[in-house]
Chain A
Amino acid sequence: MTTTSAPAPSAADPALDVEGLCVDLSTASGTVRAVDGVSFSVRRGRTLALLGESGCGKSMTALSVVGLLDPAASVTGGAVRVRGEDILRLSPAERRRLAGPVLSIVFQDALTALNPVQPVGRQIGEPFRIHRGLSRREAREKAIELMTRVGIPEPRQRAKSYPHQFSGGMRQRLLIAMAVALDPDVLIADEPTTALDVTVQAQIMRLLRDLQDERDMAVVLITHDLAVVAQRADDVVVMYAGTVVEQGTVREVFAAPRHPYTRGLLDSVPEDAERGQPLPAVPGSPPELSAVPSGCVFQDRCPLVRERCVRERPSLRATGDGRSAACHFSEELDRD
């Protein structure tokens, strides 16, 4: 695949296009499929949320996109297209070339994602030295510029500090600074605010949004928090047990879910619940990856389950207006 012959990407083309991604994981009890045929795409300036509970494969999806999968896991199928190239077919060296200027990631735990024994200024300047060949001093200036942009007070002095000398919120800002350093097309944010306090979380979300607007990035937001999705994302992909069960725009999906799992999740938020009334909880817990049922993945917990759900796994099919859901009986959810 030669990049020269590829047409220049237009604004309508997705910045990131994932198609039928499958990831296998070898565990003690054999190989299990952690991500099973996940597809989504996101354009520049849009935010797509990958929503799901722990173990649903959302992080695994993100890590395979940026090529940081654990050695126990391997991508066994699908394509991840960025700027018209399938990056899963690239050599490690070619992928490294894309890491930073095209694709970058912000992790949840900023303390472990930063090197504890290097001053932060040097770490933030590192992308410039690697990809743009800047001198140490030039990279430092760039780093200070970025630190100012993400709201670190007294950046020139603070550049000499080490990660542990910053608060959790400030560390997350540093990590974001590093991720956006080279103006990536796509920024993947893996639970970027989960470890933070509510008021700080709001600040970080605001910063991410401002940077996105300013740099016209596509953002993939990985989260388990429905409210964050509601407030921050344009589109949502709901994952369950390694598969996509529903996707569409946040507004429509949250207003009228077409998969019983999405419905169950939305209902179990205690936001509007009356005190003293039991919350409508989804019974049971997600299946183990090694014990995902052969029919519909959600059958064990589903209120609509029928014989057909046990027999046949529903495929993700379009339900009109750009939405799709993987349920045999999604129409029934619309009715009530």
Chain B
Amino acid sequence: MTTAETTTADGREDAPESAPVRKSPPRWWRLLGRDRAAAVGAVVLSLVVLVALFGRLFIGDHAQRQDLDASLRAPSLSDGFHGLLGTDVLGRSVLARLIDAAATTLSVAVPAVLCSLVIGSAIGLWAGYHGGRRESVAMRVADVILSFPSLLIAVVVLYVFSPSATNIVLILAVARIPVYLRTSRAEAAELRSRLFVDAARTFGTPSRSIIYRHILPIALPTLLTVATLDFCFVMLTESSLSFLGIGIQPPDVSWGLMVAQGRQYLQTAWWITVLPGLAIVLTTVSATVLAAWARIATDPAQRWRLTLPRKRRGASAAVPPEMIP
């Protein structure tokens, strides 16, 4: 198989959509509709976001209202809306608490992930694109942050300062910056030697425009995938902080805190732990599936896969058309 052949020979272009003149790429929501898993993921994520935004309007004070008579009730359909998912040891509605916790959890995890993603990627892309001393300094800083056990710093910092939501966000963000920094640096360092980056430099394009226009769009899907995985990590770290008593402070509640609090009742009242755990897993998996879809949907050379009829897609998975001479 000669290189000349693998590059030009085009199984790639026999994707059915390329034959007729097509004016614009298919709309993203149509692509989403073609991928069932990603569509489900999108629906789940939107639900979680809606609940986090508006859920508190519907639950009143049920998340905090104690009713010791109703302690540790199993999920059942006969106890009304608030008893749907059972109650905890203080008789509080697990459903109401889940809804309440969704807001808290997302308000910690989303800003933390976004902060570390934006700061880490920006520094990483800049360092990776320029290389040299800038790169080594950035990498050493990242190594230093990584070499501290992040939980330990969190404990120290949160012990010294007050364990407010803002501080938790900041601590988690700083602790996760190196992850994005390293990933984006590696991507940028590889991409800076690509020919189309050279081409952009011949027009006199300034470095930040090259990073923004050519490097970021290609590195972004990878970074988003890392971020979705990190989302899970951040939620769990937050729960361990809460477990140590320096995270989210009761009466506020987060999914992580619920898992931590319910742990001692695991054998008698599984729903207190399992349901918030399930919420974390569902949210993370949905985000990951959506990120995987976005990676394909934003790549013009891959996008055709999503336009194929579903049955064929399974069969074609074995042979990406680029590989065919």
Contacts and interface: CB of A to CB of B under 8 A. Distances in A.
Asked whether any CB of A lies within 8 Å of a CB of B in the complex, the reply is yes
Nearest to A289: B14
A271 B251 CA distance: 85
A55 interface: yes
Nearest to A55: B9
B10 A28 contact: no
A115 to B, nearest CB: 18
Contacts of B320: 28
A183 interface: no
A106 to B, nearest CB: 12
Contacts of B2: 54, 59, 108-109, 190-191, 194
Interface string A61-87: 001000000111100000000000000
Nearest to A72: B319
A27 B14 contact: yes
A54 B324 contact: no
Contacts of B312: 28-30
Given A28-B308, A28-B316, A55-B9, A291 B325 contact: no
27 contacts: A25-B324, A26-B315, A27-B11, A27-B316, A27-B324, A28-B11, A28-B304, A28-B312, A29-B14, A29-B312, A54-B4, A55-B8, A55-B325, A63-B1, A70-B323, A72-B318, A72-B323, A72-B324, A108-B3, A191-B2, A191-B4, A194-B2, A195-B3, A288-B10, A288-B13, A288-B14, A290-B11
A229 to B, nearest CB: 16
Nearest to B7: A54
A294 to B, nearest CB: 15
A246 to B, nearest CB: 21
Interface of B: 1-5, 7-11, 13-16, 19, 304-305, 308, 312, 315-316, 318-321, 323-325
B3 A109 contact: yes
Interface string A148-161: 00000000000000
Nearest 6 pairs of A and B residues by beta carbon: A290-B14, A55-B9, A28-B316, A27-B11, A72-B319, A54-B8
Contact of A27 (B1, B3, B19, B319): B319
Interface string A221-239: 0001000000000000000
A256 interface: no
Contact of A29 (B1, B8, B9, B16): B16
B81 to A, nearest CB: 49
Contact of A291 (B8, B19, B305, B324): B19
Contacts of B16: 29
A25 B9 CA distance: 13
A32 interface: yes
